């Protein structure tokens, strides 16, 4: 849901965190005429548009995307190679089809922030702009479902976090990487299987994917693209992978960590335990000169 006042992501609430504070301070009120939230000194749109105080069930939004999304949209457009297009607020059902006889495709009635296509409008890359509301359990569940649907359909995905600002160089590199990389479809669902239930698919039917994710770190820091994980990924690729016992550790890590995250990833004690360890490690690595700037994994 978008904040009714500023247009930022607000989760399941009509006001974002910032505007809610302004509401508590009395700067923002719920208008008795139109039933919407706005600044106390702002004229009600209902009284401006019709003097007879008639109320309407539907009302046009002030903007298709929030101010934060507008900044990312501008950077994405500048980063696109020639003959590629980007579209905001695209419904999954407009570029993904479901290959079964089910009458209900409710899982496709979700919007993604941006979609990059070729000049022939072939869907290529989904871009999501995440703020802190995506840390909520409901939003995480939604993001997981959308991610699995895109993986299954062969649509690449990129996530940018608003907390790290708009980094044009990083955005351009990530888009170039996504566009140029081969499509690697991941089999999450079977025909007529409810979306979200992936445990019934035989392991042999899944495509093998090169494991690159920092499973525990991503679980702890809630993102594969954040300052702490960028430092850890540099350590993995530039230090551990260069020595035999480092490579052995990586192999063991990728064999064990997905299982740990699957069974304990939602437990608070698991997050607290590993966060203490990883915070110390990240601090030590950064003191040795490892950067926390945006990082792209080598092919």
Distance CA 17, CA 15 (A): 7
Please name the helix (run of DSSP H) or strand (run of DSSP E) that holds residue 292, with its range, or none.
none
Q: Which residue has the tokens 């301070």?
A: 25
The answer, yes or no, to whether residue 21 has pLDDT greater than 60, is yes
Give the pLDDT band of residue 134 (cuts 50, 70, 90). confident
pLDDT tens digits, 180-215 = 988 888 887 766 555 544 444 444 444 444 445 678
Q: Tell me, what's the pLDDT at 198?
A: 43
Taking the CB of residue 139, how many other CB atoms lie within 10 A of it?
Answer: 17
Tell me the domain boundaries of the chain: 1-62, 64-208, 210-299
Identify the CATH assignment for 64-208 out of 3.40.120, 1.10.10, 1.10.287, 3.40.1350. Answer: 3.40.1350
The answer, yes or no, to whether residue 146 has pLDDT greater than 60, is yes
Give the pLDDT band of residue 102 (cuts 50, 70, 90). low
The answer, yes or no, to whether residue 11 has pLDDT greater than 80, is no
Q: Where are the alpha helices (DSSP H) in 50-163?
A: 67-79, 137-153
The answer, yes or no, to whether residue 123 has pLDDT greater than 50, is yes
Distance CA 297, CA 246 (A): 17
Taking the CB of residue 4, how many other CB atoms lie within 10 A of it?
Answer: 21
**DSSP 8-state class, residue 81:** P
């Amino acid at each position: 849901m978008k904040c009714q006042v500023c247009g930022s992501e607000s989760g399941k609430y009509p006001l974002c965190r910032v505007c809610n504070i302004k509401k508590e301070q009395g700067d923002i009120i719920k208008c008795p005429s139109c039933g919407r939230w706005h600044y106390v000194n702002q004229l009600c749109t209902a009284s401006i548009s019709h003097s007879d105080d008639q109320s309407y069930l539907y009302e046009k939004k002030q903007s298709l995307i929030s101010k934060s999304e507008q900044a990312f949209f501008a950077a994405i457009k500048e980063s696109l190679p020639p003959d590629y297009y980007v579209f905001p607020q695209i419904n999954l059902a407009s570029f993904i089809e479901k290959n079964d006889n089910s009458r209900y495709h409710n899982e496709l009635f979700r919007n993604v922030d941006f979609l990059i296509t070729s000049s022939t409008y072939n869907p290529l890359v989904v871009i999501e702009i995440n703020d802190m509301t995506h840390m909520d359990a409901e939003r995480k569940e939604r993001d997981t479902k959308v991610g699995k649907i895109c993986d299954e359909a062969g649509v690449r995905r990129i996530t940018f976090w608003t907390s790290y600002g708009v980094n044009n160089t990083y955005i351009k590199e990530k888009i170039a990487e996504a566009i140029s990389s081969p499509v690697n479809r991941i089999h999450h669902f079977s025909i007529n299987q409810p979306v979200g239930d992936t445990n019934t698919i035989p392991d042999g039917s899944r495509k093998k994917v090169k494991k690159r994710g920092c499973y525990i770190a991503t679980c702890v820091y809630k993102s594969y693209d954040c300052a702490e994980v960028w430092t850890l990924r540099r350590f993995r690729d530039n230090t551990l992978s260069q020595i035999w016992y480092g490579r052995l550790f990586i192999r063991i890590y990728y064999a064990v960590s997905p299982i740990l995250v699957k069974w304990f990833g939602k437990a608070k004690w698991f997050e607290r335990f590993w966060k203490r360890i990883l915070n110390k490690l990240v601090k030590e690595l950064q003191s040795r000169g490892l950067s926390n700037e945006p990082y792209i994994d080598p092919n």
